[in-house]
Structure 1
Amino acid sequence: MVKKSLIISLILAASTFVNAQTYMDTNDPKDEEVKSLLSKKNDLNAFGAADLKVGDLNGERGLLVGAYGGFIINRRYLFGVAGYGLVTNVEFEGLVPGQTETKQLNLHGGYGGVIIGGTIAPKELIHISFPIILGAGSLEVVDKDFFVNNPADSEFTVENTVFFVAEPGIEVEFNITKYFRLGAGMTYRYVSGTELENVEDEDISGTTALISFRFGRF
C-alpha cells in the first residue's frame, strides 16, 4: 500500500507541476484565444513503443511484454492505446472444480486500454514522464495436465474472467537520439472485478518494474 500511495502521490504532484509549467510557458495576457490540446497551433507527433514489465503475479515472478502507441502533443502530453500479455510460466497450487486435492495450475492472460500521460522537461537529456493505463483484461487458470491420455493437447481451462485495470506509473527517460527514447521506471497495477475461485484481485495487483523503448519524432 505504501508503494501504491507513493506512486499516486507523485503522479498527482507531477500533473500539477506540468499544468503550472504549461501555463507559465504559454500564458500571454495579450492573447485572449482559448487554448486547447487539439488546436492547430499545437505540435502533434506520432510514436510507438515496446515495454518489458517484471512483477509478482499470484506470488510468482512474471514477465509481461507489450506495446503502446499514439500521439504526443506539444512534446508534453501523451494519448494512445496499450496492450500487454504474460509470457512467462506462472505456476501455483490450486483446485480444479470437482476435485478435492490441490495441484499445479498456471495463469495465462493480459490487459490493455487507453494510455495517457505527461512529461516534465521533455527537451532535456533526462526527464520524467507519468503514464497511466485505464482499461480491461482477461485471465485464465489452466491445468496443463488435465487430459493425461492426450499428450498432444492436455491443457484445460479451469476458469476464466475479465477485469478492470488501472496502472499509474513513473518513468525516467533518456533522449538517446531525436527519434529514440529509453525509459526505466515502475508502475502499480490495480485490478478489480475478477471472479475466480483460485485467484483474487489482490493476487494480480501490485508493483512492476519496467523498461521502455519509444520511437517517434520527439
Structure 2
Amino acid sequence: MKKLLYSVFVLCTLTSFGQKYVDTNNPKDEEVKSLLSKNNDLNAFGALDIKVGDLMDERALLVGAYGGFIINRRYLFGVAGYGLVTNVEFEGLVPGQATPKQLSLQGGYGGIVIGGTIAPRELIHISIPIVLGAGSLEVVDKDFFTNNPADSEFTVENSVFFVAEPGIEIEFNITEYFRLGAGMTYRYVSGTELENVKDEDITGTTAMISFRFGRF
C-alpha cells in the first residue's frame, strides 16, 4: 500500500511540473509552454542539507548537497548527494560466525533532484524537492582483524539500492542570494540485498535544514 501511495504522489508531482498547453480557436495563436523554453528565466543555485532520521532504529545524521538550475523562480532541476556521517551500530551476523556482534552501517545515496516553489517572492514560502536515484550501503565489522589494530575493519556485505525521497520545506528569504529552509522528507528505499539490513530498516522520515545559495 505504501508503494502504491508513493507512486501516485510522485506521478502527480511530476505531472504538475510538465508542459502546459493553451489552445485557441486560431492555430496561429496557439501557444505551447514548456520548462525548457528559451523565453524562461534560468538561474543556477547550490545548497547544503543536514538531515536527521533513524537508520536501523538508531538516530543518524546525513549531510549532503545539491545544485542545479531554477526555472522561472519556481521549478528546480539538478543533482544531489548525501552521506552518512555518524556511526550507526547494530547487532548482526558475520558470515561463518554463529554469535551476533556489533556491526556498523556506512553509505550514502544521490541522484537527480526536481521540485517546485510556491510563492517564491514571498518572505516565507513552500519548497517541494524530490530526490530520485540510487545509493550504496556497507555493513562493516570494525574489530574483525584483531591482530592488526591499525586496520581492523572488514566489509561483511554491501549492496546498491534505489531511493526516492520527496520532501516539503518552509523556506525563508534571508537575502536576495540566500535562503534558509526547514522541513521533512520521506526516504523510500528498495532493492537492498543484505542479510543484516532490510529495505524497511533504512526507509523512513527525516527532519532537515537546508542552506541554499544562488540568484533567486
1:152 paired residue number: 150
CA distance in structure 1 between the aligned counterparts of 2:122 and 2:177, rounded to whole angstroms: 14
Q: Is the 8 A contact 2:22 2:30 kept in 1?
A: no
Residue 39 of structure 1 and its aligned partner are, at CA, apart by 1.1
CA distance in structure 2 between the aligned counterparts of 1:44 and 1:123, rounded to whole angstroms: 16
Alignment partner of 1:217 is 2:199? no
Output the amino acid matched with 2:161.
F
Runs of at least 5 residues in structure 2 that lack an aligned partner in the other structure: none
Residue 161 of structure 1 and its aligned partner are, at CA, apart by 0.2
Query: Which contiguous aligned blocks of 4+ residues in structure 1 show a shift greater than 4 angstroms?
Result: 11-16, 26-31
Output the amino acid matched with 1:69.
G
Determine helix, strand or coil for the equivalent of 2:200.
helix
Residue 33 of structure 1 and its aligned partner are, at CA, apart by 2.6
- Which of 62, 83, 86 does residue 84 from structure 2 map onto? 86
2:46 paired residue number: 48
Determine helix, strand or coil for the equivalent of 1:202.
helix
Structure 2 matches for 1:6-17, cutoff 5 A?
none
1:135 paired residue number: 133
Structure 2 matches for 1:1-218, cutoff 5 A?
32-218=30-216
Q: Is the 8 A contact 1:95 1:101 kept in 2?
A: yes
Deviations 1:25-83 (Å, cap 9, x if unpaired)?
x9797953311111111000000000000000011000000000000000000000000
Could you tell which deviates more after superposition, 70-79 or 31-40?
Answer: 31-40
CA distance in structure 2 between the aligned counterparts of 1:168 and 1:54, rounded to whole angstroms: 15
Output the amino acid matched with 2:106.
H
Residue 126 of structure 1 and its aligned partner are, at CA, apart by 0.4
Identify the structure with bigger relative contact order (alpha carbons < 8 Å, sequence gap 6+).
1
Output the amino acid matched with 1:126.
I
CA distance in structure 2 between the aligned counterparts of 1:213 and 1:15, rounded to whole angstroms: 24
Residue 92 of structure 1 and its aligned partner are, at CA, apart by 0.2
Runs of at least 5 residues in structure 1 that lack an aligned partner in the other structure: none
Determine helix, strand or coil for the equivalent of 1:152.
helix
Deviations 1:94-151 (Å, cap 9, x if unpaired)?
0000000000000000000000001110000000011110000000000000000100
Output the amino acid matched with 1:100.
A
Q: Structure 1 residues 172 and 198, CA, compared in 2 at 3 Å: closer, same or farther?
A: same
Q: Is the 8 A contact 2:23 2:31 kept in 1?
A: no
CA distance in structure 1 between the aligned counterparts of 2:100 and 2:116, rounded to whole angstroms: 46
Determine helix, strand or coil for the equivalent of 2:150.
coil
User: Normalised by the size of structure 1, how large is the TM-score?
Assistant: 0.89
CA distance in structure 2 between the aligned counterparts of 1:123 and 1:150, rounded to whole angstroms: 58
Determine helix, strand or coil for the equivalent of 1:188.
strand
Q: Is the 8 A contact 1:72 1:78 kept in 2?
A: yes
Q: Is the 8 A contact 1:15 1:118 kept in 2?
A: no
Q: Structure 1 residues 188 and 81, CA, compared in 2 at 3 Å: closer, same or farther?
A: same
